[in-house]
Amino acid sequence: MITRRPRIGLTMDVDLETARFHIRKDYPSAVEAAGALPILLPPLEGPVAAGFLALLDGLVVTGGAFDVPPELYGEARREACGPHKEERTRFEKDLLEAALAVSLPVLGICGGMQLLNVVRGGTLYQDLEADAGIGGHEQRQPREVATHAVRIAAGTRLARLLGAGSELRVNSAHHQAVRDPGTGVLVAASAPDGVVEAIELPDQPFALGVQWHPEALRQGDPRQAAIFAGLVEAARSGRT
């Protein structure tokens, strides 16, 4: 008898100039290494979220070099805000809302974490330096290099996943961050300068967001791989 592996959806990016969808290979590799089958989700126009979710046991909303439109959290765009990809954001927002409505396990990475907070009614710093006077979160080193520490909040799902120790070394590739946590959003980790580095939704079986890129760090730090293992285990447990 063949046992089906959990199917984890991974949102893809879109390059409008070349008319291509793409994704960094670290993402599907991390999901496959955790024991699941990665399913790539191109950001198509139209009401396709329900159709994709019917195929999935879990969802990863990936990061990218663009910002969440501030109109989604009730603000006008300011000069320091970066480029938008409105069609991708609409697609990912629809996916997240539909996934949370049926308690599908969800992991948001970098911009995916920020969107998870916005979907729950939270807000973002459009630019950390301009809005809060905080710099140093856009590292020049490769993604595989951890450049600062985060402190994990005790008693959180993230703390249980990572095991012993209250600190973790992470990479940093963002200029936006969570400002006001949304409804039911728990801050699970913070940087020494106070920037929110992880969130979770205790009212969901598994809904976690991390500001860093564990897919790029997991081979050098097994604790990072535990984040994907937790998602896959939740997907396996919740499958009927």
Residue tagged active-site, from 137, 174, 175, 213: 213
Phi-psi region of 70 (alpha: psi -120 to 50; beta: other; left: phi over 0): alpha
Helix (H, G, I), strand (E, B) or coil at 210: strand
- Report yes or no on 229 lying in a domain: yes
- Report yes or no on 1 lying in a domain: no
Q: Which two tokens stand for residue 92?
A: 């990912």
What is d(CA 152, CA 160) in angstroms, rounded to the nearest whole number?
10
- Report yes or no on 2 lying in a domain: no
The HSE-up count of residue 150 (CA atoms within 13 Å, CB side) is: 28
**Residue 79 CB neighbours (<10 A):** 7
Residue tagged active-site, from 110, 174, 175, 200: 110
Q: Where residue 88 sits, what CATH number does that domain have?
A: 3.40.50.880
Q: Which residue has the tokens 């020494």?
A: 192
* Model confidence, pTM: 0.96
Pairing of strands 124-125, 148-152: unpaired
- Report yes or no on 145 lying in a domain: yes
- Convert the pLDDT of each residue in 58-108 to its tens digit: 999 999 999 999 999 999 999 999 999 999 999 999 999 999 999 999 999
Can 81 be counted among the known catalytic residues?
Answer: no
Can 213 be counted among the known catalytic residues?
Answer: yes
Range of the domain at 99: 7-238
The tally of domains found in the chain comes to: 1
Residue tagged active-site, from 92, 197, 200, 215: 215
- Convert the pLDDT of each residue in 168-177 to its tens digit: 999 999 999 9
Q: Which two tokens stand for residue 76?
A: 């006008």
